[in-house]
Amino acid sequence: MELGGIHHVTAVTADAPGNLEFYTGVLGLRLVKKTVNQDDVSAYHLFYADAEGSPGTEMTFFDWRWAPPHEAGAGLVSATAFAVPDGESLEWWARRLDELGVSREEIQEEEGGRRAVLEFSDPEGQRLRLVHDGSGEAPEVRPWERGPVPPGRFLRGFDSVELSVWRLGPTEAVLTEAMGFRKVGERSGGDGPRSAVYEVGPGGPGARVVVVERRDLPLHRRVGAGGVHHVAFRVPDEEEHRAWRERLARAGLGVTPVIDRFYFKSVYFREPGGVLFEIATDGPGFATDEDPEHLGERLALPPFLEPHREQIERGLRPLPTAGLARSGE
Ligand code: ZN
């Protein structure tokens, strides 16, 4: 029984219209689901992904319009990295960000040129990276062909997430002993912070977590706009999902009961460094309540919220149409 890598990353925005514009118009992802936060129906929950909403490609946002700007802290996901198809694509993306006025860092080579990283932020300061990693194939995804990014440059889902914690040890213990990750790289410090890289399941892009020891940061768990709320890892079906819940509970992690998120089943727990983790099933997926041709076009509500649709819609602000294509070749 192995986790299949990253399922989704859920972050916070205070500006749903601007968020939609950036993730569909600049990054070229498809809005595959427009729904509400099941625990706070005044907030949109927006899902951006490949054309089918494949697990491993989903970046999702709670729209908390009163959230203060995010401040970096320990006990949080500090960066989310997407894979690009090849090294040339990384340069294409650098030019695209420049043309669209998105400020970015220079492309950095890591691990003797085997890996190249382009770092930038979304308009609310969400730290993002595009990565070309020569050590593994970028996962297959279904490019969204009605978006502004050509299929050959479309993001190949997640490469990795970076966690910042006070102490590496306890987080490493949970990753490797309870969750089946393998340590594949380590930096002991020196001129930068101590860090380590872990892989799970198939390894490579999409199945990687980087943990950075940041004792200089305040320890906090309040996630503002531009921060990540939690990261979810994949399991194939409900049977394994139940088995994972038992395994995590036996390991003494305070794991929630199984929650039906309608598009997948979830359990949550906080790893000892403070980061909120979720384990989610690959299915049933986003086409369960919408025609795959028209994902994300109307407000989707799970059956238990459908009777309250009118009231819920009144509490939400209007959003522009997704995928307003912005130029940039
Ligand atoms: Zn989630």
- pLDDT tens, position by position, 146-197: 999 999 999 999 999 999 999 999 999 999 999 999 999 998 877 789 999 9
Residue whose structure tokens are 């994300």: 296
Instruction: Kindly give the distance from the C-alpha atom of residue 237 to the centroid of ligand 1, in angstroms, as a whole number.
Output: 16
Instruction: Kindly give the distance from the C-alpha atom of residue 328 to the centroid of ligand 1, in angstroms, as a whole number.
Output: 32
Collapsing DSSP states into helix, strand and coil, what is residue 109? strand
Looking at residue 327, what is its pLDDT? 43
| Whole-number Cα distances in Å, 317 to 29, 42, 253, 297 | 22, 9, 38, 15
Query: In the structure encoding, which two tokens stand for residue 85, read together?
Result: 């198809």
Query: In the structure encoding, which two tokens stand for residue 11, read together?
Result: 């972050």
Instruction: Kindly give the distance from the C-alpha atom of residue 18 to the centroid of ligand 1, in angstroms, as a whole number.
Output: 21
Instruction: Kindly give the distance from the C-alpha atom of residue 91 to the centroid of ligand 1, in angstroms, as a whole number.
Output: 31
CA distance linking residue 192 with residue 211, whole number of Å: 13
Q: How many angstroms from the chain centroid is the CA of residue 141?
A: 15
The upper half-sphere exposure of residue 226, i.e. CA atoms within 13 Å in the direction of its Cβ, equals 14
Are the C-beta atoms of residues 280 and 233 closer than 8 Å to each other?
yes
Instruction: Kindly give the distance from the C-alpha atom of residue 50 to the centroid of ligand 1, in angstroms, as a whole number.
Output: 17
Contacts of 76 (CB under 8 A, 6+ apart): 163, 164, 220, 221, 223, 227, 228, 274, 275
Instruction: Kindly give the distance from the C-alpha atom of residue 106 to the centroid of ligand 1, in angstroms, as a whole number.
Output: 31
Which secondary-structure segment (H or E) carries 142? Answer: none
Phi, psi of 26 (to 5 degrees): -95, -55
Return per-residue pLDDT of the chain as tens, 329 residues: 999 999 999 999 999 999 999 999 999 999 999 999 988 999 999 999 999 999 999 999 999 999 999 999 999 999 999 999 999 999 999 999 999 999 999 999 988 888 999 999 999 999 999 999 987 777 789 999 999 999 999 999 999 999 999 999 999 999 999 999 999 999 887 778 999 999 999 999 999 999 999 999 998 768 999 999 999 999 999 999 999 999 999 999 999 999 999 999 999 999 999 999 999 999 999 888 899 999 999 999 999 999 999 999 999 988 887 655 444 44
Are the C-beta atoms of residues 243 and 267 closer than 8 Å to each other?
no
Q: What is the residue type of 105?
A: E
Query: In the structure encoding, which two tokens stand for residue 312, read together?
Result: 């819920």
Instruction: Kindly give the distance from the C-alpha atom of residue 278 to the centroid of ligand 1, in angstroms, as a whole number.
Output: 6
DSSP β-ladder status, 127-133 and 76-83: parallel
Looking at residue 45, what is its pLDDT? 96
Phi, psi of 326 (to 5 degrees): -105, 145
Instruction: Kindly give the distance from the C-alpha atom of residue 70 to the centroid of ligand 1, in angstroms, as a whole number.
Output: 19
Looking at residue 322, what is its pLDDT? 62
Query: In the structure encoding, which two tokens stand for residue 166, read together?
Result: 């006070």
Instruction: Kindly give the distance from the C-alpha atom of residue 231 to the centroid of ligand 1, in angstroms, as a whole number.
Output: 7
Smallest CA-to-CA distance from 179 within 56, 272, 114, 317 is with 272
Instruction: Kindly give the distance from the C-alpha atom of residue 86 to the centroid of ligand 1, in angstroms, as a whole number.
Output: 29
| Whole-number Cα distances in Å, 94 to 11, 30, 97 | 23, 20, 5
Instruction: Kindly give the distance from the C-alpha atom of residue 164 to the centroid of ligand 1, in angstroms, as a whole number.
Output: 19
Ligand 1 (single-atom ion) residues, CB below 5 Å: 10, 232, 278
Collapsing DSSP states into helix, strand and coil, what is residue 298? coil
Question: What secondary structure, in 3-state letters, does 226-271 show?
Answer: CCEEEEEEEECCHHHHHHHHHHHHHCCCCCCCCEECCCEEEEEEEC
Contacts of 179 (CB under 8 A, 6+ apart): 3, 200, 233, 248
